[in-house]
């Protein structure tokens, strides 16, 4: 299986260079997140008012902001925080939402009812507004952003995991496993879960992008990460007031970085979906 | 199989197919799905096209009516519907023929109907397109068609949606759509597969009655030899894109001549036989993507194979109306 | 009719859930609610006073009961920033947000639905490739960033747009309020100059939201149209020789629209969130920027009122979508 | 698991001639929404209603009926995949109905009741190879590992005519006939006493069907397994089964030796069913037609014959008095007020 999957993956990457490109970009982002802070030319927090609002140049590739900080350094350093928040929230929701959906779909009954009600309640809010409310109520900290982003993605994970589980619960191989002597939990974890895992991984890649956007959006309106911490959303917010006076670089570079990261995860998710389920190609 | 004279009387024939070939271009190569298929169907006649999965019986129907998907194309031969050549007809001309002069019904009737349009309107759509009726006249005629296919309380049922009807009812609606314009030819592609046998019997009765009343020719595509035996006047047996034998139903069942037909009959459970008397068919269908397909695609599975079988296939008319594509018929 | 009433009743649990969650978020969770409500500059006495005023010293069920009672009477508290009842503020600002969101949605739908249809009908064509690029790029755009880019290009570089500062030029006066939608109100009295001014202000933020809504709608339209075109009943329709007009519009499109309508609920959820960000970028005097200002001032009641309003709006939207769905899909009427 | 005395699994030789004895088994499912406001619905689908039947050791019992007749539910009941609402299921000397389905997976009798599923492709975990699939019950139920396991897998495959080189393949790499053989090999691996065959050849072409049916006959002879064979194809049932049970809307309408039932049906439904089966020798002009559709299985009238309204010979009595299964000569039973023995 892994042999054919790998072969198929290689086939997809060669057949679809976009996925290969996304993969390369992804690796780049991961490297920036790990090694960025020790590689950047300037201290991301060091201000230099003499050199405030400098356009991009050989010295400051992405220019400097209103108090003279190097935007390139800030943008690179921010990668760790932005991706970290997104990855943590996706991991959180994958574990809880995925498991809830699995259990909900497999056992049905009151478990399904309760999990369904929780999902419905979350879904009753516009999701970004709910995230705002959670962070505003719990306080402006990184763990709270992670939590809020996880919570608003919960219904999505439940729905995907539940739908896939229900579909497989009806499949003959689940009955076959019972006949072969597996009990509920054995069937659930040993037979159903591995089968829906690839789809959940695709889901994770697709929601990474959304999680990044959500966290940056919160910071943009002043919730979440606080200045002067380098974070893409805040940096765009700080640059916003200079757009009308023509200092485009202050907002553009962090915004472009943000966009590229999200784009990368979306492309990767689409590519992974092609690998997992070639029939669902869009 | 070239230069074949179709068995049915030419004067009465509705559809004449000769040397009809179809290919599919796929990633894994060209599938030679149909090879020089030839048959004809006369007015009021029901011909069954019988074969196992992959034999090409459905492809034949789709290709005739111009319903092949983008990968498939007709590579040769001729198909004349009441004198009109179908293989060279433009898409617009085919669209004008479909549903008017030649209609088709499918298996899985509930999925084959538009789920959010009531059945009366779905019948009406065909009438408005092909019979030039206005909305009101089409609606009235649709109710008459529902009555004609034996649906009780047709005026009320015309407002029903497919999900509100049983599978058998849906198939009757399909038949009503197909015969609404009194086509000369009806192609029924596995019309009762998936329906219960009691429903199957009723649906087949209705098709038979309508064919008798209107004189339309029917092609019944089925994998079920027994159903073909009961419901057709003539059977053409298909194997791997070839028609291998074509004979009046009784003749074919009593005196099958092609080795594949004999094998197929020997594998079909009957009301009286024993399991021990049944024989399976050894081997598999040849891979139709091969470039070196043998002239007889059954040769590799055949126990009557001769050196002569390497020669190009030809039809042999063993007796009037009984043709077989075999060098060594039984 | 009975189904309609049942559906109305069906959105009650969501409403109850929303009220409970808002209550829990503001009153129960850690963090001193009185300090939060009193604002950052409050003294110890005023905090104590507010605590008593809010009844925070009473048991939770009792607090909840008075909270619900206040809600029923439309009492969402007072805004410390504006000094007005929150309900008054929100009602005054809601039309601005509604006009913006609806225009954004209309722009998104007007482009996305035809694009999705063409992409599906002509698979592999230029339109199809364009659709795929737009879909993937579109969902990757941070909406606040798109807005800023548009401002830079159309205001700073080209000078085609007015400054991104609200619904009307500072010197213009708004049309008399009928609907609160400037475009409609100005048109009603035939004041086309004001109409043009309002439209000029509206176009950039609305396009920003439209670009945001475009991707998910185009994606689902294309996918569902493709699925429907491959369905068996389309094959039946083709076998019946129906014209391509009937085939695509009556048979394929109506079926394909069902998932699109359902997805609009999700799109609305995103749009209402994006609305907050866009209002901030364009200094749009809607309820989103109201909430953001209150958040910065740590003014609790407006934030809570905003969350409730958004959630109730969203419930109503979902109700509307459900009704449209019922009208389109006979199967939905039976469940 | 089951500690009661007298309810222990018994060695087969100590048991009587009956392998399976099902008495008055019913299965009902609640239907309708159970929402917050709409309240709990009390409507029930009577999927299986008051079914009693027996299976002798070495016998093959056919179960026929049309879609919705309850045969799939009955299969799940006697394979102990679902719990009956009421009634008794005796397997050997042991009462199984009291053991919840979710615990039966670890029951010692699990290995003795196995199923061959309808769609062989779908019943094999797509992540399993043929060998994994066949090995799974052997590992779970008999604790086999290593070489013993491999040996048993190969033995089962060989018995089912599955070439050993195919064992490493995934289901999508096998043909329909080969998948069917994997399904059968998996089921006979633990050497069950009862094998439930749920439409094992429904998806196969006739040429392949024959080989699978013949394989089943040879396994029955060499392993001494009893079969419950479910099919909608009466001709196939007649070929394979000693006795046949005909179901209609959850109830048994006729039981008897297969040939007798099909050649001279007692119940009007069976008559209609038999008449509807296409025959190679052509249609009979006087064929009986069952028009209309079955009634709804939701909350059916307990006092009316389920076939009433569709029945060609029914009277008012059938609407007010549920016919019970009556015994007829030759070990036959039929549930019809007007069933009469065919003249000899």
Per residue in B299-324, pLDDT tens? 888 888 888 888 888 888 888 889 99
**Does residue A60 surpass a pLDDT of 90?**
no
A119: domain CATH number is 1.10.3720.10
Domain boundary assignment for chain B: 10-101+185-324, 111-182
pLDDT in tens, A178-218: 888 888 888 888 888 888 888 888 888 888 888 998 888 88
Cβ-contact D224, D55 below 8 angstroms: no
Measured CA to CA in angstroms, residue D260 lies from D61, D244, D281 at distances of: 14, 9, 20
Select from D86, D74, D71 the least CA-distant residue to D20: D74
**pLDDT at site D15:** 59
**pLDDT at site A101:** 92
The SS3 of residue A247 is coil
Measured CA to CA in angstroms, residue C194 lies from A9, C197, C282, D54 at distances of: 58, 5, 19, 88
Q: Do B115 and C331 touch (CB under 8 A)?
A: yes
Query: Which of A177, A179, A194 is facing D79, going by the closest CB pair?
Result: A179
Query: Which of D175, D207, D234 is facing B267, going by the closest CB pair?
Result: D207
Any chain D CB within 8 A of the CB of B2?
no
**Does residue C179 surpass a pLDDT of 90?**
no
Which domain does D276 fall in, by range? 265-341
Q: Do C13 and D38 touch (CB under 8 A)?
A: no
Q: Report the distance separating Cα C55 and Cα D238, nearest Å.
A: 81
> Where are the alpha helices (H) located in chain D, listed in sequence order?
71-78, 101-104, 130-142, 146-159, 176-188, 206-223, 234-240, 258-263, 268-276, 316-320
Q: Which residues of C touch A259 (CB under 8 A)?
A: 140-142, 145
Mean pLDDT, residues C132-153: 84
Select from D98, D81, D93, D86 the least CA-distant residue to D25: D86
Q: Which residues of D touch A181 (CB under 8 A)?
A: 105-106, 110-111, 137, 140-141
**pLDDT at site C78:** 81
Q: Which chains touch C (3 or more CB pairs under 8 A)?
A: A, B, D
How many Cβ atoms sit within 10 Å of the Cβ of residue B102? 29
**Does residue B69 surpass a pLDDT of 80?**
yes
**pLDDT at site C127:** 82
Q: Do B130 and C238 touch (CB under 8 A)?
A: no
Measured CA to CA in angstroms, residue A3 lies from A6, A9, A160 at distances of: 5, 10, 27
In angstroms, the separation between the Cα of residue B138 and the nearest Cα of chain D is 27
Which residue has tokens 């997805």? Answer: C263
Q: Report the distance separating Cα B312 and Cα B310, nearest Å.
A: 7
Cβ-contact A23, A268 below 8 angstroms: yes
The SS3 of residue C324 is helix
Mean pLDDT, residues C83-112: 90
Assign B4 a pLDDT band (cuts: 50, 70, 90).
Answer: very low
Q: Report the distance separating Cα C112 and Cα A30, nearest Å.
A: 34
**pLDDT at site C293:** 84
Q: Which CATH superfamily is domain B10-101+185-324 in?
A: P-loop containing nucleotide triphosphate hydrolases (3.40.50.300)
Q: Report the distance separating Cα C281 and Cα C284, nearest Å.
A: 8
Q: Report the distance separating Cα B249 and Cα D281, nearest Å.
A: 10
| For chain B, percent of residues with pLDDT exceeding 70 | 97
Mean pLDDT, residues C202-227: 90
In angstroms, the separation between the Cα of residue C179 and the nearest Cα of chain A is 24
Q: Report the distance separating Cα B269 and Cα B261, nearest Å.
A: 14
How many Cβ atoms sit within 10 Å of the Cβ of residue C256? 25
Q: Report the distance separating Cα C67 and Cα C69, nearest Å.
A: 5
Mean pLDDT, residues A147-161: 92
**Does residue A152 surpass a pLDDT of 70?**
yes
Complex ipTM: 0.83
Mean pLDDT of chain A: 82
Q: Do D122 and A171 touch (CB under 8 A)?
A: yes
Q: Which residues of B touch D229 (CB under 8 A)?
A: none
List the beta bridge partners of residue D255.
D245, D333
Assign B50 a pLDDT band (cuts: 50, 70, 90).
Answer: very high
pLDDT in tens, A231-265: 888 888 887 788 777 777 778 888 888 888 888 88
Cβ neighbors of B146 (< 8 A, separation 6 or more) are B119, B120, B123, B154, B157, B158, B172, B173, B176
How many Cβ atoms sit within 10 Å of the Cβ of residue D163? 10
Pairing between β-strand D44-56 and β-strand D18-30 as defined by DSSP bridges: antiparallel
Q: Report the distance separating Cα A86 and Cα A264, nearest Å.
A: 14
Cβ-contact B197, D277 below 8 angstroms: yes
How many Cβ atoms sit within 10 Å of the Cβ of residue D276? 21
Sign of CA dihedral D235, D240, D242, D246: negative
Cβ neighbors of D238 (< 8 A, separation 6 or more) are B269, B271, D62, D244, D258, D259, D262
Mean pLDDT, residues B188-215: 91
- Does residue D301 lie within any of the structural domains? yes
- Report which of residues B207 and C124 the model is more confident about: B207
Q: Which residues of A touch C35 (CB under 8 A)?
A: none
Task: Kindly report the backbone phi and psi dihedral angles of residue D21, in degrees, each rounded to the nearest multiple of 5, phi listed first.
Answer: -140, 105
Assign C1 a pLDDT band (cuts: 50, 70, 90).
Answer: low
The SS3 of residue D56 is strand
Select from D194, D235, D186 the least CA-distant residue to D213: D235
**pLDDT at site C288:** 87
Cβ-contact B178, B109 below 8 angstroms: no
Cβ-contact B57, B64 below 8 angstroms: no
Any chain C CB within 8 A of the CB of A227?
no
**pLDDT at site A8:** 64
Which residue has tokens 């601005």? Answer: C96
In angstroms, the separation between the Cα of residue A129 and the nearest Cα of chain C is 6
Cβ neighbors of B252 (< 8 A, separation 6 or more) are B234, B235, B237, B245, B261, B322
Question: Counting beta carbons within 10 angstroms of the beta carbon of residue B35, is it exposed (0 to 12), middle (13 to 18) or buried (19 or more)?
Answer: buried
Q: Which residues of C touch D36 (CB under 8 A)?
A: 13
Which domain does A170 fall in, by range? 65-266
Q: Do D123 and A195 touch (CB under 8 A)?
A: no
Cβ-contact D336, D268 below 8 angstroms: yes
- Pick among D206, D285, D292 to test the B interface (most B CBs inside 10 A): D206
Any chain C CB within 8 A of the CB of B114?
yes
- Does residue A185 lie within any of the structural domains? yes
Q: Which residues of C touch B99 (CB under 8 A)?
A: 239-242
Q: Which residue of A has its CA nearest to C274?
A: A128
**Does residue A227 surpass a pLDDT of 90?**
no
Answer whether A touches C (≥3 Cβ pairs < 8 Å): yes
**Does residue B7 surpass a pLDDT of 70?**
no
Question: Counting beta carbons within 10 angstroms of the beta carbon of residue D241, is it exposed (0 to 12), middle (13 to 18) or buried (19 or more)?
Answer: buried
Q: Which residues of B touch C246 (CB under 8 A)?
A: 125, 129
Q: Which residues of C touch D33 (CB under 8 A)?
A: 335
Q: Report the distance separating Cα C143 and Cα A216, nearest Å.
A: 11
Q: Do C330 and B163 touch (CB under 8 A)?
A: yes
Cβ neighbors of A274 (< 8 A, separation 6 or more) are A12, A16, A19, A280, A281
Question: Counting beta carbons within 10 angstroms of the beta carbon of residue B255, is it exposed (0 to 12), middle (13 to 18) or buried (19 or more)?
Answer: middle
Select from B324, B323, B328, B329 the least CA-distant residue to B308: B328
End-to-end CA distance of chain A: 24
What's the number of domains chain D is made of? Answer: 1
Any chain A CB within 8 A of the CB of C274?
yes
Task: Kindly report the backbone phi and psi dihedral angles of residue B217, in degrees, each rounded to the nearest multiple of 5, phi listed first.
Answer: -85, 145
3-state secondary structure chain B: CCCCCCCCCHHHEEEEEEEEEEEEEECCEEEEEEEEEEEEEECCCEEEEECCCCCCHHHHHHHHCCCCCCCEEEEEEEEEECCEECCCCCHHHHHHHECCCEEEECCCCCCCCCCCCCHHHHHHHHHHHHCCCCHHHHHHHHHHHHHHCCCCCHHHHCCCCHHHCCHHHHHHHHHHHHHCCCCCEEEEECCCCCCCHHHHHHHHHHHHHHHHHHCCEEEEEECCHHHHHHHCCEEEEEECCEEEEEEEHHHHHHCCCCHHHHHHHHHCCCCCCCHHHCCCCCCCCCCCCCCCCCCCCCHHHCCCCCHHHHCCCCCEEEECCEEECCCCCC
For chain D, residues with pLDDT lower than 70 are 1-15, 32-41, 282-286, 341-344
The structure's pTM equals: 0.86
**Does residue C85 surpass a pLDDT of 60?**
yes
**Residue D174 parent element (H or E):** none
Count of positions (residues) in chain D? 344
**Does residue C40 surpass a pLDDT of 80?**
no
End-to-end CA distance of chain C: 13
**Does residue C66 surpass a pLDDT of 90?**
no
Select from D256, D279, D342, D249 the least CA-distant residue to B197: D279
Q: Which residue of C has its CA nearest to B97?
A: C241
- Does residue A5 lie within any of the structural domains? no
The SS3 of residue A205 is helix
Q: Do C331 and B116 touch (CB under 8 A)?
A: yes
Task: Cis check for the bond before A271: say yes or no (omega within 30 of 0).
Answer: no
Q: Which residues of A touch C274 (CB under 8 A)?
A: 128
Q: Do B116 and C241 touch (CB under 8 A)?
A: no
According to CATH, the topology of domain C86-334 is MetI-like fold (1.10.3720)
- Pick among B116, B129, B179, B180 to test the C interface (most C CBs inside 10 A): B116
Query: Which of A120, A133, A259 is facing C141, going by the closest CB pair?
Result: A259
């Amino acid at each position: 299986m892994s042999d054919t999957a790998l072969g198929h993956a290689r086939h997809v990457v060669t057949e679809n260079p976009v996925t290969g490109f996304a993969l390369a970009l992804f690796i780049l982002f991961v490297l920036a997140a790990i090694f960025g802070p020790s590689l950047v030319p300037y201290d991301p927090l060091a201000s230099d008012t003499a050199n405030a609002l400098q356009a991009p140049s050989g010295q400051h590739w992405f220019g400097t902001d209103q108090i003279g900080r190097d935007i390139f350094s800030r943008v690179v350093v921010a990668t760790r925080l932005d991706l970290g928040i997104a990855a943590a929230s996706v991991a959180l929701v994958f574990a809880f939402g995925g498991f809830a959906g699995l259990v909900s779909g497999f056992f049905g009954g009151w478990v399904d009812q309760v999990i369904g009600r929780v999902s419905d309640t979350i879904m009753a809010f516009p999701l970004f507004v709910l995230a705002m409310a959670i962070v505003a109520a719990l306080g402006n900290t990184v763990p709270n952003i992670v939590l809020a982003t996880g919570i608003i993605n919960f219904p999505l994970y439940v729905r995907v995991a539940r739908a896939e589980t229900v579909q497989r619960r009806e499949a003959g191989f689940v009955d076959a496993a019972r006949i072969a002597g597996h009990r509920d939990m054995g069937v659930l974890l040993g037979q159903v879960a591995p089968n829906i895992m690839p789809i959940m991984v695709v889901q994770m890649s697709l929601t990474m992008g959304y999680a990044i956007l959500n966290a940056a959006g919160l910071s943009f309106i002043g919730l979440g990460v606080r200045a002067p911490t380098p974070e893409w959303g805040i940096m765009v917010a700080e640059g916003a007031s200079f757009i009308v006076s023509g200092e485009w670089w202050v907002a553009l570079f962090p915004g472009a970085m943000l966009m590229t990261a999200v784009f990368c995860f979306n492309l990767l998710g689409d590519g992974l979906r092609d690998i997992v389920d070639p029939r669902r190609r869009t | 199989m070239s230069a074949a004279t179709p068995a049915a009387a030419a004067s009465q024939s509705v559809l004449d197919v000769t040397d009809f070939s179809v290919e599919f271009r796929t990633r894994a190569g060209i599938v030679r799905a149909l090879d020089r298929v030839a048959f004809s169907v006369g007015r009021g006649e029901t011909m069954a096209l019988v074969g196992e999965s992959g034999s090409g019986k459905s492809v034949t129907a789709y290709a005739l009516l111009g319903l092949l998907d983008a990968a498939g194309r007709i590579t040769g031969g001729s198909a004349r519907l009441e004198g009109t050549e179908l293989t060279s007809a433009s898409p617009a001309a085919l669209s004008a023929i479909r549903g008017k002069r030649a209609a088709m019904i499918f298996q899985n009737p509930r999925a084959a109907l538009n789920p959010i349009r009531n059945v009366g309107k779905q019948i009406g759509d065909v009438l408005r397109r092909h019979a030039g009726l206005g909305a009101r006249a089409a609606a009235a005629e649709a109710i008459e068609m529902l009555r004609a296919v034996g649906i009780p309380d047709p005026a009320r049922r015309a407002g029903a949606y497919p999900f509100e009807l049983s599978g058998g009812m849906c198939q009757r609606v399909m038949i009503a759509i197909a015969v609404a314009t009194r086509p000369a030819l009806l192609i029924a592609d596995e019309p009762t597969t998936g329906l219960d046998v009691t429903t199957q019997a009723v649906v087949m009765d209705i098709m038979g009655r309508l064919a008798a009343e209107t004189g339309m020719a029917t092609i019944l595509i089925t994998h079920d030899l027994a159903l073909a035996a009961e419901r057709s006047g003539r059977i053409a047996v298909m194997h791997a894109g070839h028609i291998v034998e074509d004979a009046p139903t009784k003749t074919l069942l009593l005196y099958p001549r092609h080795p594949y037909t004999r094998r197929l009959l020997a594998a079909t459970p009957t009301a009286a036989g024993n399991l021990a008397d049944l024989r399976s068919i050894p081997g598999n269908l040849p891979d139709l993507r091969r470039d070196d397909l043998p002239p007889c695609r059954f040769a590799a599975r055949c126990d009557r194979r001769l050196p002569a079988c390497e020669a190009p296939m030809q039809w042999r008319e063993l007796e009037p109306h009984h043709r077989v594509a075999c060098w060594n018929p039984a | 009719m009975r189904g309609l009433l049942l559906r109305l009743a069906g959105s009650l649990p969501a409403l109850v859930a929303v009220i409970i969650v808002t209550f829990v978020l503001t009153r129960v969770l850690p963090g001193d609610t009185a300090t939060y409500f009193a604002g950052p500059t409050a003294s110890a006495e005023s905090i104590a006073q507010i605590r008593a005023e809010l009844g925070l010293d009473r048991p939770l069920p009792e607090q909840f009961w008075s909270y619900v009672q206040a809600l029923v009477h439309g009492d969402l508290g007072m805004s410390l920033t504006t000094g007005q009842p929150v309900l008054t503020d929100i009602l005054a600002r809601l039309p601005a947000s509604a006009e913006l969101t609806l225009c954004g949605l209309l722009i998104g739908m007007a482009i996305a639905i035809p694009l999705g249809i063409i992409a599906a009908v002509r698979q592999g064509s230029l339109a199809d490739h364009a659709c795929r690029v737009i879909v993937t790029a579109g969902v990757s755009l941070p909406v606040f960033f798109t807005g800023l880019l548009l401002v830079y290009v159309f205001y700073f570089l080209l000078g085609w747009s007015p400054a991104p500062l609200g619904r009307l030029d500072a010197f213009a006066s708004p049309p008399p309020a009928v609907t609160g939608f400037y475009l409609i109100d100005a048109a009603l009295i035939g004041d086309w100059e004001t109409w043009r001014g309002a439209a000029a202000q509206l176009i950039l933020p609305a396009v920003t939201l439209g670009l945001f809504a475009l991707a998910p709608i185009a994606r689902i339209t294309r996918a569902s149209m493709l699925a429907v075109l491959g369905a068996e009943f389309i094959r039946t329709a083709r076998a019946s020789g129906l014209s391509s007009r009937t085939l695509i519009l009556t048979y394929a499109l109506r079926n394909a629209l069902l998932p699109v309508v359902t997805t609009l609920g999700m799109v609305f959820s995103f749009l209402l969130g994006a609305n907050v960000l866009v209002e901030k970028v364009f200094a749009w005097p809607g309820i989103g920027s109201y909430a953001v200002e209150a958040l910065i001032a740590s003014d609790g009641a407006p934030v809570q009122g905003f969350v409730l309003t958004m959630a109730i709006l969203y419930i109503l939207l979902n109700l509307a979508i459900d009704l449209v769905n019922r009208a389109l899909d006979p199967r939905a009427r039976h469940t | 698991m089951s500690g009661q005395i007298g309810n222990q699994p018994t060695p087969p030789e100590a048991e009587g001639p009956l392998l399976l004895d099902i008495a008055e088994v019913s299965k009902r499912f609640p239907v309708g929404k159970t929402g917050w406001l709409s309240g709990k619905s009390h409507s029930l689908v009577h999927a299986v209603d008051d079914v009693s039947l027996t299976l002798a050791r070495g016998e093959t019992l056919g179960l026929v009926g049309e879609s919705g007749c309850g045969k799939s539910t009955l299969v799940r009941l006697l394979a102990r995949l679902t719990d009956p609402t009421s009634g008794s299921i005796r397997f050997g000397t042991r009462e199984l109905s009291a053991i919840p389905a979710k615990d039966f997976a670890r029951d010692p009798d699990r290995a003795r009741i196995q199923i061959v599923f309808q769609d062989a492709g779908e019943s094999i975990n797509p992540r399993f190879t043929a060998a994994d699939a066949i090995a799974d019950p052997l590992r779970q139920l008999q604790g086999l590992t290593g070489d013993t396991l491999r040996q048993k897998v190969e033995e089962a495959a060989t018995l089912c005519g599955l070439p050993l080189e195919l064992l490493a393949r995934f289901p999508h790499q096998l043909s329909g006939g080969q998948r069917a053989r994997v399904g059968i090999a998996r089921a006979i691996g633990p050497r069950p006493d009862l094998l439930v065959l749920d439409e094992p050849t429904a998806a196969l072409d006739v040429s392949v069907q024959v080989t699978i049916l013949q394989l089943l006959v040879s396994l029955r002879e060499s392993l001494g397994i009893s079969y419950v064979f479910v099919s909608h194809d009466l001709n196939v049932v007649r070929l394979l089964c000693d006795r046949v049970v005909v179901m209609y809307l959850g109830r048994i309408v006729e039981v008897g030796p297969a040939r007798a039932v099909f050649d001279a049906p007692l119940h009007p439904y069976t008559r209609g069913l038999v008449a509807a089966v296409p025959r190679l020798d052509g249609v009979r002009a006087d064929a009986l037609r069952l028009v209309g559709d079955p009634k709804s299985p939701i909350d059916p009238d307990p006092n009316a014959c389920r076939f009433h309204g569709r029945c060609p010979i029914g009277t008012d009595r059938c609407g007010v008095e549920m016919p019970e299964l009556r015994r007829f000569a030759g070990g036959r039973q039929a549930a019809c007020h007007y069933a009469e023995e065919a003249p000899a």
